[in-house]
Chain A
Amino acid sequence: MSIQAQLRDAILKVLPDVECVIGWGPGPDPLRNAPLFMKTPDDVERFEAGPLSVSNLAVFLQEYKGNKVGIVVKGCDSRSVVQMLAEKLINREDVVIIGYPCEGVLDAAKIVTKLGLPQEALEAGMVAKLELEGESVTVTARGKTTELAIKDVTATKCSICRYPNAVLSDEFVGEKREGLEDSYGDVDKFLAMSEEERFRFWEKEMERCIRCYACRNACPLCVCKDHCVATSRDPHWLTQADSPRDKLFFQLIHATHLAGRCTGCGECARACPVNIPVGLFKRFMNRATEKLFSFQGGVDPEATPPLQTFKLEEPTIQERNWK
């Protein structure tokens, strides 16, 4: 039985006990799924899980606090759920977690590039049909059908995924997969630039930010919601000017607030409508937290994030190199 069929069975089993089960269903174009909120067995018929199930559904859990819901999670999504549990943002008894071994999700931009950008000026919205079969994906655009290897078009985060399986679940279907290594090569590469170059890089990137705050709203661990510093009028922390300075300021606040909490799901960067690599800020912080506190967010629901507590002697921090 396919993973999708097994997941459908698991959802149907959970359905009578919950308000809804959050999963994925068909999206507005062949390249992506949309979140699906299943209340009836008919809804479950529309459920899909696989390389198109990109969005991290944990972002919706806080809206259902106090009502029991089910949620289908990939490995990365499950870490968000775990981190929310660790911070008591949601109650364990309110959520039924259905996990599966994720094989990676597709990156629409990579597919489009493989199909012939920039020479053919193709866009994701021109893809008429997409079929998944084993290790390959067959895409039809402008009347031309191309077969691609899934591994060549998966999201970059999937090629460094340490936790492909749900780290916490009530129901787990399928066979667990081996995790991969993440050596933070992207952060190293970025840090190889001079400080001046890095600043210029962000100045250029932030210039096209439209201040939609999708990076913030797609983040399951952004907790201030309607009371964000970025839009608060009283106090008036950030100006409404269309300047890289204010936009960068918000990104730095966001990344700092996520230090030791971010689970690296990558939704902030995926949500960005103008492709600003905002995930890099958080990746930098995650690496720092791992180095300083030997801590990874979203792995242990009982753990306290390092910046929400203190230890008189931090075991991993050697002051003045004294032994």
Chain B
Amino acid sequence: MNIDYSKEAPVVAGRLSLAEIEELVAKPLDTKPDRKYFIALSIAVSALMIGAISLGLSFYWGLGLWGNNQPIGWAFDIVNFVFWVGIGHAGTLISAILFLLRQKWRTGIARFAEAMTIFAVICAGLFPAIHTGRPWLDGYLLPYPNQHSLWVNFTSPLLWDVFAVSTYFTVSLVFWYIGLIPDFATLRDRTNSKIKKTIYSIFSLGWRHSSRHWQHYEKAYMLLAGFATPLVLSVHTIVSFDFAVSILPGWHTTIFPPYFVAGAIFSGFAMVVTVLVFVRKVFNLENIITMDHLDKMNKVILATGMMVGYAYGMEFFIAWYSGVQAEQFVFVNRAFGPYAWAYWIMVSCNVIFPQLFWFRKFRRSIPVMMVIVILVNVGMWFERFVITVTSLHRDFLPSSWGYYVPTLYDFGLLIGSFGLFFTLVILFTKTLPVVSISEVKAVAEGAQPSHHGGVVNA
């Protein structure tokens, strides 16, 4: 394991030529899907259907079908919302923040992660919409001059959410689409099918790889990255405000904004690794999504996992240090009360197991990695569960204490959101290039003029 630090590790392995890269990425789009694909798709769609049925029944009979009840008025709906928004953060992090930090290894995974962002935000957006109970009235969330001559409450964090999530979705989509334009043009120029060509032409807008355009394009990409970076922080910050501006012990704590953002990146990266491990195997992209990339992502998971651990610790310490009884009770109750099982699942999955990533051997082992990232996904879901439910279930008066038990419909909706996510992911892999062709070409060996220091592994 002797690394030569004087040389940059190649971003694209296997000394692929530009044409080979393109061939590799575009191949899934040219071939008919096989049986495995349909099996995977049918599993995902079945899960989606479970969700759809639960949702239909929830609307028909009302939200009384869910387990939410006093004092736990917020449960799976908000837990799933925060979970999915968190998953969505990895994509923008990879495409924007790593872009600004000039991490070339992002090119191989950026497209996929961005797509996952969009799908995850779709899943996330679903929950606030349905938890209103009458989603056909959600239009009132927008500040338009309505017949009540009332305006929305701009001082409410729930309204900030509406703005944050919709802005985030729009910007991610635009960012994603901008990245796709050159690839659409490339696909247009290589296909022989007339229908495909028409579709690709429409979406490529007539892109012709002109350097006069590339100049603006790169500038725009940088500006968008510059905006997406604070945006991605702001979104989960605002999600954390939903909790933290209240005066509920366990919710009201100042570390929530950075803590939520770190947690979001943590869970998002875990989800990206979970999916990428399959994608690189199935589509033979091992040379483009290399072990080095997974290694680096696992390092990010380790780092953000420790940030989350830091926040857990700080919350506990300051709860004791504050001298506020209610605050102290909530945290003791969290760790040793009736929901202690959820708390310790959270701590072990988020803080303890990722410590294995200290070792290079584990960071680069697919089975170990798979187990850990799935545990992280579970742990991060439980983190939101712990924050929401344990803070609520023991109200200030013991007469209003309760114990939340989710119903089948709650689980149905959770499964359904996973179904929706994976259905979209699976459809995406066969309709659009899962790796940015132009970006990967740009960082391939010998792709840049030699005098410009861009030569990789020369």
Real binding pair: no
